Structure 1
């Protein structure tokens, strides 16, 4: 069996890099991106701010206090989405198999393409093409599986590359902090630290049963990653990958207000499903089927998001564009496509920390009591239909 060759590509401080590409006066200066009010949240920050203790997800007020000389920029998801698509298009042209993990991160399966050195040469050429055509810095890690490749990328940053051959995997991992292991969050890190486990080498010496007992169901996977084992496949990425829902009425309808409420309720439900899968969407489609069975759709590319209030606004606007008020409606539908995994920080440029907490609270209620338990007021009338 051939050794797998997995390439992990990650755009360095992506949002900051896009801003610097658009305005080179920002180069080498501390930059914080996010909501600009005191209640805003840091979505991204440059390397120059990190020695001051600034990190993504931090309240903007605190970040300004820690690094008062930092330049504050309100994020522009239109631009970030545009550059993300540029990079993905380049990868799609070159790669035999790739998976878009997030707006700024891709995995490629290069197994069988060439000998290991040849694969490294190909990866370097791809990286140089991305830098040349997008203008953005990007780092990569190349190794035998996703986890090691991702860790290698982290060690290669900023704007670097690192190959970890099969025989180098364990020596490479051994001295690194357990925090470097994908899937080890703050809580798991603190738990392992209390056991005296600081490095990946130390974690390897702990029996897997004990790691599972301490970390729960994810423990065995973490232990395997510490041993350089990760069979997770690179899943083919398709722009058309989507989620959607439709509703066929028992009686054809012409009530515009009610139809909009139904569209809003469907969109809200899909957005919750999207967040449950930790994904964001870059395209919304609204579908209408009339009484004579004619079917019409309207879609719109949007900046990546997973938030109800943004998606509902787009869906309602699309409905108004596609709906012919002179005809009765038999069916309506909503679909989200161009899905990728995405952090909530993608949506924080205008949202306050209170809004973030509100979404978390609403989703917690839905998880506990069912997705039907709470809805926005504009969708409530759907229960009377």
Structure 2
């Protein structure tokens, strides 16, 4: 452990949704949800205004629509997110050469590798101010003597804050936290701890390493104890070459029911895709891992024709793979991963892998979805897409259906919401366009567009 809080963890606040709010003046201060809009779509990021209604990442989009029917539901624009991420990472590189990116919006920074001996708190404050100045977005930062504590501190700092864990104060931060806060404590481990009467990090520490090793085995038990008392010697590793992204769960009781295994495979596939999308990646090879009752472990994989980040495709592939595995004696661990990573996908992002899928399983069938429906099959216009019109200029799609597309004409530099107009979907004057930068130049040209005649859209 370090004697100074020189490991910095930075996490952009509600990154995808914040970018959309910064890009679209009409959405500032309003609930925004980014993700898949099809029947099996899931939430990628929700703005803080949407989180007030209980919406969170990985939630079924159908459920999110019920919780906040008047929120803006948008498809992601990964090209723009990557551009802004590169700006943020460049600013981090000006502080220290030792950066460990975790995803588009998250990274560790080792301040011991920085020039000089400036106070870490002052560095963090200046970095946050520069990010806001360059991107218009906010970031939360944690400073501590280890990666574990720095990440927990940045979560405590959200949104738009800074938390510094000074040496000797680690217990004050860790002790009251629920056990699920610690990395590697998933549902199965948390349930095992609950049965042992352990619900907080302080109770893990008081249990002692010997008892934890008895409960969880040498490696996992010792790791749990070390984290609970704040010990973490992992270095910040620059330029990590991630080969794959995967998730796995160990079950307290061996699974023998095939329907339950399929359910767990689906759940793991969805979690894996969430991590994949969070890293801004897609992958070509789906892998499953199976540890059977006798501790024998095997993997099976299938390589697709093109990289994907479609949860339906990953689910279906993983299901095919598990069906070919003999699980007669029971299964104690299942995992799903995606390898052969790429920075793009050759299929439509968040598209359905098959038509006619069922909606959110938790939804009562008779409960109507009040939010605007997803685009019609084959539609070329998706909510959030950037467009340009020969007369009205730059804007974005609010929705489409019944042969019409509704567009709000505004650019990031505007200070007030733009006008809304509706066109035929095949209007030759309307075309897709690239996203404008957040500090869009030439926004003054909008004033002349606003004066043009024409009825406002609905």
Q: Give the TM-score band, short-chain normalised.
A: 0.5 to 0.7
Partner Cα distance (1:129, 1:366) in 2: 53
Matched with 1:3 is 3
- The 1:24/1:354 distance shift into structure 2, 3 A limit, reads same
Partner Cα distance (1:86, 1:365) in 2: 45
Matched with 1:218 is 220
Paired residue secondary structure (2:237):
coil
Matched with 1:237 is 239
- 1:1-385 equivalences in 2 (<5 Å): 3=3, 5-111=6-112, 118-216=119-217, 217-237=219-239, 241=241, 304-307=281-284, 347=309, 351=310, 353-361=311-319
Answer yes or no: is the 8 Å Cα contact 1:281–1:306 preserved in 2. Answer: no
Answer yes or no: is the 8 Å Cα contact 2:103–2:278 preserved in 1. Answer: no
- The 1:203/1:3 distance shift into structure 2, 3 A limit, reads same
Answer yes or no: is the 8 Å Cα contact 2:8–2:109 preserved in 1. Answer: yes
User: What do the CA deviations read for 1:25-75 (whole angstroms, capped 9, x no partner)?
Assistant: 222222221111222121121223334332222221122123323221111
Q: How far has the Cα of 1:229 moved from its partner?
A: 0.4
5+ unaligned residues in a row in structure 1: which ranges? 245-274, 283-302, 315-343, 370-385
Q: How far has the Cα of 1:101 moved from its partner?
A: 1.3
Partner Cα distance (1:191, 1:279) in 2: 28
Deviation >4 Å, runs of 4+: 112-117, 241-244, 278-282, 307-314, 362-369
User: What do the CA deviations read for 1:104-125 (whole angstroms, capped 9, x no partner)?
Assistant: 1110111275898712111211
Paired residue secondary structure (1:179):
helix
Paired residue secondary structure (1:167):
coil
Q: How far has the Cα of 1:226 moved from its partner?
A: 1.1
Partner Cα distance (2:46, 2:318) in 1: 23
Answer yes or no: is the 8 Å Cα contact 2:96–2:114 preserved in 1. Answer: no
- The 1:279/1:20 distance shift into structure 2, 3 A limit, reads closer
Partner Cα distance (2:122, 2:323) in 1: 51
Matched with 2:264 is none
RMSD value, Cα: 3.5
Partner Cα distance (1:124, 1:363) in 2: 49
Matched with 1:270 is none
Q: How far has the Cα of 1:7 moved from its partner?
A: 0.5
Answer yes or no: is the 8 Å Cα contact 1:14–1:104 preserved in 2. Answer: yes
Q: How far has the Cα of 1:163 moved from its partner?
A: 0.5
5+ unaligned residues in a row in structure 2: which ranges? 245-271, 287-302, 328-458
- The 1:365/1:121 distance shift into structure 2, 3 A limit, reads farther
Answer yes or no: is the 8 Å Cα contact 1:7–1:107 preserved in 2. Answer: yes
- The 1:367/1:72 distance shift into structure 2, 3 A limit, reads farther
Partner Cα distance (1:145, 1:366) in 2: 43
Q: How far has the Cα of 1:19 moved from its partner?
A: 0.7
Q: How far has the Cα of 1:219 moved from its partner?
A: 3.3
- The 1:12/1:366 distance shift into structure 2, 3 A limit, reads farther
Answer yes or no: is the 8 Å Cα contact 2:41–2:61 preserved in 1. Answer: yes
Partner Cα distance (1:7, 1:15) in 2: 22
Matched with 1:287 is none
Answer yes or no: is the 8 Å Cα contact 2:2–2:145 preserved in 1. Answer: no
Answer yes or no: is the 8 Å Cα contact 1:113–1:119 preserved in 2. Answer: no
Paired residue secondary structure (1:152):
helix
- Given the two structures, how large is their TM-score scaled by the length of structure 1? 0.64
- The 1:236/1:209 distance shift into structure 2, 3 A limit, reads same
Q: How far has the Cα of 1:305 moved from its partner?
A: 2.2
Q: Mean Cα displacement is larger for which, 304-313 or 182-191?
A: 304-313
- The 1:184/1:47 distance shift into structure 2, 3 A limit, reads farther
Q: How far has the Cα of 1:157 moved from its partner?
A: 0.3
Paired residue secondary structure (1:37):
coil
User: What do the CA deviations read for 1:193-229 (whole angstroms, capped 9, x no partner)?
Assistant: 2322222111110122333444454332222111010
